Amino acid sequence: MPIDVNTLSVRELDQLINQAKKRKTTLAKRKPIALVRRKLTQLAKAEGYRIDELFGGKAPASTGEAKPASKARKGKGKPTGKVAPKYRNPANPAETWAGRGQAPRWLAAELKSGKTLEDFLIR
């Protein structure tokens, strides 16, 4: 959200300048991100963890704990759940599509070039 300083009064400009100075001082006191990241990684490693275990990423191997219930759907009707993929990108087999929702970009581009949907069916 850009601020149009041409429309501000002298009092409003002074307030804005003071806020900017405070923010600049706060940022100047912070340590560089690379240094903080390195310290966090070292601390996690010293305690026997990886950063992705602590802050997200792939979940660690199953610990036998029960999984929390999934959130309720906000749409109408019954929840449909996950569906097996029906179409695969031959150029990148990791890219698949179940046929629901909008077609992925790779499939839309291939269909535009003249191929048919049946060319991508997973047999």
Question: Each residue of 38-56: pLDDT tens digit?
Answer: 999 999 999 998 888 888 7
- pLDDT of 5 reads 87
- pTM over 0.85, yes/no: no
Sign, CA torsion 22/23/26/27: negative
Helices (H), the chain: 10-29, 33-46, 51-55, 105-112
**pLDDT tens figures, 65-100:** 445 555 555 667 777 778 889 999 999 989 999 998
Domain limit, last residue, from 55, 74, 97: 55
- What is the count of structural domains for the chain? 2
Q: Assess whether 91 and 51 both reside in one domain.
A: no
Range of the domain at 26: 5-55
Alpha-carbon dihedral 13, 17, 23, 28, rounded to 10 degrees? 160
Q: How confident is the model at residue 105, as a pLDDT?
A: 93
CA-closest candidate to residue 3, choices 22, 26, 19, 27: 19
pLDDT for 1: 67
Give me the amino acid identity at 13: L
In a domain, 75, yes or no: no
Neighbours of 50 (CB within 10 A): 13
Both 51 and 9 in one domain: the answer is yes
User: Which pLDDT value is given to residue 57?
Assistant: 65
**Is the predicted pLDDT of residue 20 greater than 90, yes or no?**
yes
